[in-house]
């Protein structure tokens, strides 16, 4: 049974004129499954109704469950001895669905996103071995709601200037932005208000407008609303950071970028596709691709100047126009000077 994201991707690819064979190859599903989705003409997953083998034994299961003190292995043995013919896995699945021995979990919420509708951004503290020392780092992550494309980087601190640098790198990596960027109620972006009443800092609102998206905060205490990006932090902590050490900040962020490439190309059972394959559907809908406002960093005529505050001093950092990735070449200085020239040093290293 294909999930809603896969069905939406199939319908979108068909609208773009792709053949059934090419869609099946791209989504790694059978041509029959593609035809079924196109025939239904809807992304809503149909409800599958079929009888379960343990259903006729429900009363007996309840009786045995009490007698065997909740041991389903013994319950299954007694049922098989009485002539039942179904597996232990079928019994446990039946008990879960019927709430036998399991308190039904109430879903916190279920969210479905259209291509290009929403991206989620957040930060989380971690510890990483950089330069032979275990250092506290701020992990900044951005995840697309539809395709689950992931991009993250490490920062020693995360202020408004760092936020703009990170989002620029992320939008360069994704070559576009979704209509909405969901955030928590961080002071880095928020001027006043919370949730839907949040008003962003004018500086950040102007930054978002330039790149064709808008910031939106979730309600206080509703962290599950940003589950897409929240889930990525645990994956980074239990996979990427385990057993890895880095020479410096530049090496850490380069390895993070390479790991994102690997993860985004990996097939996921819950999506029935890889994030990169779903991104093929999502990318044409991004606001920057439609409007063409994504700056060409590699252009020799481009002139980039980042401005940020260090204490009470305004720091202006020009990036070399001949650089292939100007934002990654920016040097965020540690000293308090009014004007510091950008250098061709490693990204995000302190001068």
pLDDT tens by residue, 214-258: 999 988 877 778 888 888 999 999 999 999 999 999 999 999 999
pTM over 0.85: no
Q: Using the predicted structure, report yes or no on whether residue 296 has a pLDDT greater than 50.
A: no
pLDDT tens by residue, 37-96: 999 888 888 876 778 889 899 999 999 998 888 899 999 999 999 999 999 999 998 888
User: Average pLDDT, stretch 96-108?
Assistant: 73
Q: Using the predicted structure, report yes or no on whether residue 327 has a pLDDT greater than 50.
A: no
User: What pLDDT is attached to residue 45?
Assistant: 81
Say which CATH class 118-291 falls into.
alpha beta
Q: Are 228 and 325 in contact (CB under 8 A)?
A: no
pLDDT tens by residue, 13-37: 999 999 999 999 888 899 999 999 9
Q: Using the predicted structure, report yes or no on whether residue 277 has a pLDDT greater than 60.
A: yes
User: What pLDDT is attached to residue 329?
Assistant: 38
User: What pLDDT is attached to residue 107?
Assistant: 60
Q: What is the pLDDT confidence band of residue 286, given thresholds at 50, 70 and 90?
A: low
Q: Using the predicted structure, report yes or no on whether residue 189 has a pLDDT greater than 60.
A: yes
Q: What is the pLDDT confidence band of residue 140, given thresholds at 50, 70 and 90?
A: very high
Q: Using the predicted structure, report yes or no on whether residue 344 has a pLDDT greater than 80.
A: no
Mean pLDDT over each residue of the chain, to the nearest integer: 80
Taking phi over 0 as left and psi of -120 to 50 as alpha, with beta for the rest, 132 belongs to left
User: What pLDDT is attached to residue 4?
Assistant: 84
User: What pLDDT is attached to residue 108?
Assistant: 60
User: Average pLDDT, stretch 125-145?
Assistant: 94
Which residues 6+ apart lie within 8 Å of 59 measured at CB? none
User: What pLDDT is attached to residue 176?
Assistant: 86
- Phi, psi for residue 128 in degrees, rounded to 5: -135, 150
Three-class secondary structure assignment of the chain: CCCHHHHHHHHHHHHCCCCHHHHHHHHCCCHHHHHHHHHHCCCCCCCCCCCCCCHHHHHHHHHHHHHCCCCHHHHHHHHHHCCCCCCHHHHHHHHHHHCCCCCCCCCCCCCCCCCCCEEEEEEEEEEEEECCEEEEEEEEEEEECCCCCEEEEEECCCCHHHHHHHHHHHHHHHCCCCCEEEECCCCCCEEECCHHHCEECHHHHHHHHHHCCEEEECCCCCHHHHHHHHHHHHHHHHHHCCCCEECCHHHHHHHHHHHHHHHHCCCECCCCECHHHHHHHHHHHCHHHHHCCCCCCCCCCCCEEEEEEECCEEEEEEECCCCCCHHHHCCCCCCCCCECCCCCCCCCCCC
């Amino acid at each position: 049974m294909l999930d809603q994201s896969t069905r939406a991707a199939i319908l979108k690819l068909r609208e773009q004129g792709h053949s059934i064979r090419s869609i099946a190859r791209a989504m790694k599903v059978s041509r029959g499954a593609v035809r079924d989705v196109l025939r239904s003409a809807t992304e809503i997953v149909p409800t599958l109704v079929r009888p379960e083998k343990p259903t006729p034994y429900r009363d007996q299961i309840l009786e045995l469950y009490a007698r065997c003190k909740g041991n389903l292995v013994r319950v299954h043995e007694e049922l098989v001895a009485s002539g039942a013919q179904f597996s232990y896995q079928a019994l446990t699945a039946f008990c879960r669905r019927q709430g036998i021995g399991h308190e039904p979990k109430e879903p916190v919420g279920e969210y479905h996103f259209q291509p290009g509708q929403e991206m989620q951004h957040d930060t989380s503290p971690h510890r990483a071995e950089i330069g032979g020392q275990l250092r506290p780092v701020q992990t900044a992550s951005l995840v697309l709601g539809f395709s689950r494309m992931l991009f993250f980087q490490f920062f020693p601190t995360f202020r408004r200037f760092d936020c703009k640098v990170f989002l620029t790198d992320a939008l360069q990596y994704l070559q576009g932005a979704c209509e909405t960027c969901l955030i928590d109620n961080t002071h880095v972006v928020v001027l006043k208000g919370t949730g839907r009443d949040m008003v962003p800092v004018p500086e950040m609102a102007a930054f978002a407008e330039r790149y064709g998206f808008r910031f939106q905060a979730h309600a206080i205490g509703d962290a599950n609303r940003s589950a897409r990006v929240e889930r990525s932090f645990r994956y980074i902590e239990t996979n990427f950071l385990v057993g890895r050490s880095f020479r410096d900040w530049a090496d850490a962020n380069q390895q993070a970028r390479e790991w994102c490439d690997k993860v985004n190309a990996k097939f996921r059972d819950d999506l029935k596709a890889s994030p990169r394959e779903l991104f093929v559907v999502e990318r044409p809908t991004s606001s920057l691709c439609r409007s063409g406002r994504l700056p060409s960093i590699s252009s020799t005529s481009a002139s980039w100047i980042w401005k940020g505050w260090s204490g009470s001093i305004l720091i202006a950092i020009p990036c070399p126009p001949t650089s292939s990735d100007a934002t990654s070449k920016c040097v965020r200085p540690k000293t308090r000077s009014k004007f510091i020239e950008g250098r061709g040093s490693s990204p995000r290293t302190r001068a």
